[in-house]
Amino acid sequence: MRVFRERTEIVLSALLLSSLVLVTPRIAESDAVEYFSYLPSVLFDRDLDFKDEYTVFYHEDPEGRAGFKETFLDRETATGLKLNFAPLGTALLWSPFYVAAHLVVGGDGLSQPYRTAVALGSAIYGALGLFSTITSMRFREVSRPCSSATSRRATSWEDGSDLRVPPRHRALPRLPWVVQRVRARPRGGG
């Protein structure tokens, strides 16, 4: 069984690594723009005024981002800063990849290498989430005690010798009674 697990992990890792070329390295929607704008604003401008970041993104596609302009460039907070509804968490998770891109490229903070770095970061976090889910499922599988009858049943299901359908859940015979009770309830409203 352990050989199968290792082989599964190798195949899954190979699939995830090969899918990295399919990652779309663009910041297109307003949510992504809001998340991303924290990074250059804090690291380069050393403030939380997002006007210059929003302006760059708006000018990349003025027709497609007309609604973005109305929401984020034309409106301000009471302090005169541009709105940002996004929480800081995504930017914090992206920050190692963003800083690594800056160490390699040394650019302006808004160019394509930075965007590619955070997109790859998102893919890596997704892969880590998948692997942690698989690991936790295996841990639960190993740590759950089972009776010898359960073990025999699982073994017979695995080798195909016992192909009986398991008995129905005990609550199912009561289902018609529950449906009748719900239908008989007086209905409120107009």
Residue-level pLDDT at 99: 97
Say yes or no to pLDDT of 84 above 60. Answer: yes
4-13, 30-39, 115-124, 142-151: which has the minimum mean pLDDT?
142-151
Q: Is residue 110 in some structural domain?
A: yes
Q: What does the block give as tokens for 84?
A: 């940002």
Residue-level pLDDT at 52: 94
Q: What does the block give as tokens for 23?
A: 């990652």
Instruction: Report, as an integer, the average pLDDT of 47-60.
Output: 93
Instruction: Quickly tell me which residue has 């089972």 as its tokens.
Output: 146
Residue-level pLDDT at 186: 64
Number of domains in the chain: 1
Residue-level pLDDT at 21: 77
Give the angle subtended at the CA of 109 by the CAs of 106 and 111, to the nearest 5°: 90
Q: Is residue 169 in some structural domain?
A: no
Residue-level pLDDT at 57: 92
Q: Is residue 43 in some structural domain?
A: yes
Residue-level pLDDT at 98: 97
**What does the mean pLDDT of the chain come to?**
78
Instruction: Report, as an integer, the average pLDDT of 111-135.
Output: 89
Q: Is residue 158 in some structural domain?
A: no
Q: Is residue 114 in some structural domain?
A: yes
Q: Is residue 136 in some structural domain?
A: no
Going by pLDDT thresholds of 50, 70 and 90, the confidence category of residue 45 is very high
Q: What is the DSSP string of 73-107?
A: IS-B-TTSPBP--S-SHHHHHHHHHHHHHHHHH--
Instruction: Report, as an integer, the average pLDDT of 140-152.
Output: 54
* CA pair distance 102, 155, nearest whole angstrom: 54
Say yes or no to pLDDT of 130 above 70. Answer: yes
Instruction: Report, as an integer, the average pLDDT of 142-158.
Output: 51
* CA pair distance 35, 42, nearest whole angstrom: 12
Name the more confident of 93 and 16. 93
Domain limits for position 57: 30-131
Contact 105, 63 (CB under 8 A): no
Q: Is residue 41 in some structural domain?
A: yes
Q: Is residue 163 in some structural domain?
A: no
Say yes or no to pLDDT of 58 above 50. Answer: yes
